[in-house]
Structure 1
């Protein structure tokens, strides 16, 4: 289980501006941050360093957002259709002469 030291911590950018507040520090590699505009993003823990007034993002941090990771309904439908044959059971049982129906 991840250490809770970042829970509710303030995160600042390199220039000192408020980046957001940690709202979920339970994951081992990332923390969820609520931005001042109420959006939520994820930051990898190794991109954070202790600062004077909370935590500071390092220069080369990466931000992950739900918008970047989400798919449209049609994209999900297309993905499901593409995997359909792989989800069908085999038409015969190994060791059997006749197909099972």
Structure 2
């Protein structure tokens, strides 16, 4: 399995009162290289490996060809909706079905 590897730093910042209590909410910023941090910041090095397939989107394509003269079948809006509904139920994807006369 091919992976995409990336290393980066999350810099977490939190301010404290003079008596040691946190003040405000912590913030986070991200940088690719090791950062120079302020006194209120802590860098966290993160090494991440992601499977390559996360970046690949499937391209589904279908073509239905009925040879001329073979059928007098006409695709009605009801049939288009039925095809789209079957695909949704069986594959879990939304598909728009249209037909063109004479093409």
Q: TM-score when scaled to structure 2? A: 0.21
Larger Rg: 2
- Structure number having the greater helix percentage: 1
The higher relative CO (CA closer than 8 Å, separation ≥ 6) is in 2
Q: TM-score when scaled to structure 1? A: 0.22
